[in-house]
């Protein structure tokens, strides 16, 4: 089958790294630290993928503006204490290496900060396989198309041969806004029902399935 895509843009949290549960717990603990009721797991999962400040503003739109910095600080306190213990999903290390060896250009578009992504790339050993990365504190947060469009420009890629792979509606809407195709994964933060409306090419239930689909169809 002829190759359809040259550039594969992966989300990080919930797509490559099994971090959604830690993110939810850190959000809930941070809220409790500043005297707020802990939001539900569902509400907390819905804002994963956005830049941190934008995510907290979406989750708690009535919080006074002066309280967001304190909430961000408490979130980082809880998350950073555990981020070096968060595993990659099964199959990610071998899959990413094999996709790179097969000739795909690989990139990351994430709601993480630049410092956070660099730490994750170093801890996971995956940094060598990605040609370029974009983070929420470098440009517009998802679902704005800037991350995808900047990666395409940096890597001199063809939008028609670019594929975004992500676990949230924010990822898939970012792809749609950028005019590129997407592949959804159901094992991260958002459920299949959140992803279907954004017309991904397919929905995958594990990274092993993602790798198999890309190897056969991409």
Q: How far is CA 41 from CA 24, 44, 48, in A?
A: 6, 5, 11
Hey, which residues are catalytic here?
11, 13
The better pLDDT of the pair 83, 10 is held by 10
Per residue in 72-92, pLDDT tens?
Answer: 999 999 998 887 789 999 999
Interatomic CA distance for residues 150 and 144, integer angstroms: 11
Interatomic CA distance for residues 105 and 67, integer angstroms: 41
Label the pairing between strands 105-110 and 132-135: parallel
Q: Which domain holds residue 80?
A: 20-84
Please check whether residue 171 lies inside any domain of the structure. Answer: yes
Interatomic CA distance for residues 208 and 111, integer angstroms: 23
Residue 141 shares a structural domain with residue 97: yes
Q: What is the overall mean pLDDT for the chain?
A: 95
* Confidence bin at 1 (pLDDT 50/70/90): low
Residue 179 shares a structural domain with residue 102: yes
Please check whether residue 119 lies inside any domain of the structure. Answer: yes
Per residue in 173-206, pLDDT tens?
Answer: 999 999 999 999 999 999 999 999 999 999 999 9
Q: What is the CATH number of the domain that holds 60?
A: 1.10.150
What's the predicted TM-score (pTM) here?
Answer: 0.94
């Amino acid at each position: 089958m002829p190759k359809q895509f040259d550039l594969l843009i992966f989300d990080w949290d919930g797509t490559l790294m099994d971090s959604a549960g830690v993110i939810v717990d850190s959000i809930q603990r941070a809220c409790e630290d500043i005297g707020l009721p802990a939001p539900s797991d569902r509400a907390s999962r819905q804002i994963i993928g956005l830049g941190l400040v934008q995510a907290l503003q979406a989750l708690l739109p009535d919080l006074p503006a002066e309280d967001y910095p304190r909430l961000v600080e408490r979130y980082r306190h809880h998350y950073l204490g555990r981020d070096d213990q968060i595993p990659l999903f099964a199959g990610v290390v071998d899959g990413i290496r094999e996709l790179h060896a097969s000739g795909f250009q690989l990139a990351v578009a994430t709601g993480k900060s630049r410092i956070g992504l660099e730490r994750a790339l170093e801890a996971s050993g995956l940094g060598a396989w990605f040609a370029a990365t974009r983070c929420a504190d470098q440009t517009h947060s998802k679902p704005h198309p800037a991350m995808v469009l900047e990666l395409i420009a940096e890597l001199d890629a063809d939008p028609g041969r670019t594929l975004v792979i992500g676990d949230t509606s924010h990822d898939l809407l970012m792809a749609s806004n950028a005019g590129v195709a997407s592949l959804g994964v159901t094992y991260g933060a958002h459920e299949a029902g959140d992803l279907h409306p954004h017309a991904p090419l397919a929905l995958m239930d594990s990274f092993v399935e993602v790798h198999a689909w890309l190897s056969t169809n991409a």
